[in-house]
Copies of this chain bind each other. A is one copy, B any other.
Amino acid sequence: MKLIDGKKIAADLLGEIAREVNLLTAQGKRPPHLATVLVGHDEASETYVANKVRACHNCGFDATVVRHDVDVTQDELLATIDRLNRDESIDGFIVQLPLPDHIDEQRIIEAIDYRKDVDGFHPINVGRLALGLPCFPTATPQGIATLLDRCHISTEGKHCVVLGNDHIVGRPTAELLMRKAFPGNCAVTVCNGDTPHLEDLTRRADILIAAIGIPHFVKAHMVKDGAVVIDAGTTRLPVPGEPGHYRLHGDVDFDAVAPKCACITPVPGGVGPMTVVSLLKNTLLAATRPALLS
């Protein structure tokens, strides 16, 4: 069994991105600039945003955080988005989700100029991904595809089973793997926790991608010997007996499943570190090839 070291692969990729930024600034160009809109002070959101800002700085990107109080009105938030859409010094921006209940999340996402939508949540980017056109792919699916690529895991002619059919991870990951490209060119099954006889499907997977959001859901009997297992689960649970401390839990019962696998990602340190890489890759793309999406 080979452990897929997402942390190291992400660090390598961030190094490559930093070198590209150096080349840009050496040519007298300004560095890529990512803005993040953060509403309120949710602890998990603060952590995620801080990670993104740190990664930006490590790669030489400019990073701006636009903060709003939790009682910001939808119109105020739309005004911020309009300003960021028009600000030529900003290449891409994201709105950290979730938003408070009084805000229509979909309305906010659709207000973002798709050419700056580096999270890849705007319907145009979702559609362009499905159609195989240049786009900003959603972060986690792109991270998974990059992991497979960097680990030289062939998908060609394989059967890939994606456990989880949400819009953020499961379905766009399936779309990426169906493409006539690398990684891609494989048969893809998308199923979820309600699928009857689920283990009959997951046991057929050459590559099993777990994105169901239920800690330790995938047990050993659900996995074929020699499978590649990618765990995109990131459920954040308090550590028993350690108030204020949290730990990330994957969707895979790692200790039981790992011995059966050809390769497997751990949680943390597998898919997670790749998502911020995807975000920076998208922002670099927005900065250097803005015409690609026009």
A positions within 8 Å CB-CB of B: 106, 122-133, 157, 159, 165, 167, 171-172, 174-175, 178, 185-192, 194-196, 201
Chain B proximity of A186: nearest CB distance (Å) = 8
In the complex, what distance in Å separates the CA atom of A106 from the CA atom of B135?
14
How many copies of this chain are found per oligomer? 2
Contact status A159-B201, CB under 8 Å: yes
Q: Is the CB of A130 within 8 A of B133?
A: no
Q: Which of A165, A189, A194 has the most CB of B within 10 A?
A: A189
User: How far does the Cβ of A212 sit from chain B's closest Cβ, in whole Å?
Assistant: 13
Contact of A127 among B125, B189, B195 (CB under 8 A): B125
- Contact of A126 (CB < 8 Å), options: B130, B191, B192, B201: B130
Evaluate contact between A132 and B167: CB separation under 8 angstroms: yes
A157 near B195: Cβ-Cβ < 8 Å: yes
Residue of B nearest to A195 (CB): B187
Docked complex Cα distance between A130 and B186 (Å): 20
A172 CB contacts on chain B under 8 angstroms: 130
Pick 26 A–B contacts, CB within 8 A, sort by A. Answer: A106-B133, A122-B127, A123-B123, A123-B133, A126-B127, A127-B127, A127-B128, A127-B129, A127-B130, A130-B130, A130-B167, A130-B171, A130-B172, A131-B167, A132-B167, A157-B195, A157-B196, A171-B175, A171-B178, A178-B190, A187-B189, A187-B190, A187-B192, A188-B189, A188-B191, A189-B190
